[in-house]
Amino acid sequence: MAIKIIQDECIGCSACVAACPFGAITMQDDAKAFITEACTVCGACVETCPVSTIVREEEEKTVAMDKAEYKGVWVFIEQVDGHIRGVSHELLGEGRKLADAMGQELAGVLIGNHVEDVSKDLFASGADKVYLVEGAEYSHYNTDGFTVTLTDLIKTYKPNVILIGATNDGRDLGPRVACRIGTGLTADCTNLDIDAETGLVAWTRPAFGGNIMATILCPEHRPQMGTVRPKVFKRPVPDFTRTGEIVRVASKVKPEDIRTKFIELLQVCITSCNLEEAEIIVSGGRGMCKPENFKLIEDLAEVLGGTVGASRAAVDAGWKPALHQVGQTGKTVGPKIYIACGISGAIQHLAGMSSSDSVIAINKDADAPIFKVADYGIVGDVMEVLPIMIEEFKKLRQA
């Protein structure tokens, strides 16, 4: 689609300039309206023009691929030292629903070194098939090797849909592969569905700082690709009676394809910062007043065997590193228990923790938005409430 102004008929009234919400229309020296590259083809100007000189045109589409050749739903499986990351199981569960709705098979793409044994876990989570690529060059994730391999698999087997976790590795891999195969990629999705009218995957993601939810379709290119945040979907209950087919694919990656060399793995903040996998998270916000007071958050997390989180306000203030941030611009979590301490509950923060099983909120403002999503609420000063909670939990542990 494109918006065009018929210059010979433009009367220079500038009504379209005021109507454009994106400031994409300007008046030229000859008193004619001109559409700039900022145009989003929203059509507001078309309805405003009093002489109907602004029109919406269909652009000619030239797509060479035969979309009917693309079948199946794929999930890229992230694994570290033979341990599958939780987000991969979550995507297999959601991918199972998509595959069933489209009448297609669900496959996991497993790339690593000596990882065949974990295939049974992928079948248990819903996979019908596993594409397995093994080699020493895949012992640790590297951009070049994994990009070449996944791209080659897509070109060979032509999947219809590919789901990738919106993790550090997934956000690195997904866009590179999408660019190489000439398709689009919807990033950081929080919901997946099938569009009733077209049968396409409807990818839903937050936009404009989380204030609206945008649903995106990919009608003209294949595969349909997207990255999905960890913990937005529940992990399926494993069924170890399920079996499936393993398709072994020889590695085509050459040493010169990989431009980096693995030297050493430094494990920093693995336990205290692994928010996506945590079952208990204690988060602090602006209400903690100063960084020293986060010691109470850390003490409560320690006694509960949990992990420390923080709101964006606390991270922006420098009270905690960004690795701890929960929310729209941080990490999406879904623990069994989420304790929000001094967090007001802005929509951006709620988007990152609303899938928690139980939410406990502590805030001295009884009208704070966080209480609307909390299962349990304590109205009070966190500096007075937290020491009491820590002491009581210590007594329970000793008992």
Asked whether residue 380 is marked as a ligand-binding residue, the answer is no
Consult the annotation and say whether 75 binds a ligand. no
* Residue 344 is assigned to a ligand binding site: yes
Residue 398 in marked binding region: no
Q: Confirm whether residue 363 is marked as ligand binding.
A: yes
Phi-psi domain of 74 (left: phi exceeds 0; alpha: psi -120 through 50; beta: other) = beta
325 among annotated binding-site residues: yes
- Ligand-binding annotation for 370, yes or no, is no
Helix (H) or strand (E) holding 161: strand 161-165
- To the question of whether residue 312 is assigned a binding role by annotation, the answer is yes
Residues 315, 321: contact at Cβ < 8 Å? yes
Query: Which residues neighbour 72 within 8 Å (Cβ) at sequence distance 6 or greater?
Result: 99, 104, 105, 106, 107, 157, 159, 160, 161
CA–CA separation, 247 and 121 (whole Å): 16
Q: Is 162 annotated as a binding residue?
A: no
Q: Is 347 annotated as a binding residue?
A: yes
Query: According to the annotation, is 14 in a ligand binding site?
Result: no
Question: What gap in Å lies between CA 135 and CA 366, rounded to an integer?
Answer: 57
Q: Is 28 annotated as a binding residue?
A: no
Query: H or E segment at 379?
Result: strand 376-379
- Per 3-state DSSP, the chain is made up of helix, strand and coil in percentages (nearest 5) of 35, 25, 40
Q: Determine whether the annotation assigns residue 348 to a binding site.
A: yes
Q: Which positions ≥6 away from 24 have C-beta within 8 Å?
A: 35, 36, 37, 38, 39, 40
Is 332 labeled as ligand-binding?
no
Task: Report in angstroms the alpha-carbon separations of 143 from 76, 123, 368, 397.
Answer: 14, 27, 43, 45
Tell me the pairing of strands 337-341 and 280-284: parallel
Q: What is the C-alpha to C-alpha distance for residues 169 and 76, in angstroms, rounded to an integer?
A: 11
d(CA 342, CA 289): 9
Record the tokens describing residue 272, joined without a space. Answer: 């205290």
Q: Which residues of 121-138 are buried (b: 16+ CB within 10 A; e: fewer)?
A: bbbbbbbbbbbbbbbebb
Residue with tokens 């589409």: 61
Residue 311 annotated as binding site = yes
Q: Tell me how far apart the alpha carbons of residues 354 and 335 are, in angstroms, rounded to a whole number.
A: 10
Task: Give the Cα separation of 223 and 131 in Å (integer).
Answer: 16
Sequence ranges of the binding site: 286, 311-312, 325-329, 342-349, 363
Question: Binding site for FAD: which residues?
Answer: 286, 311-312, 325-329, 342-349, 363
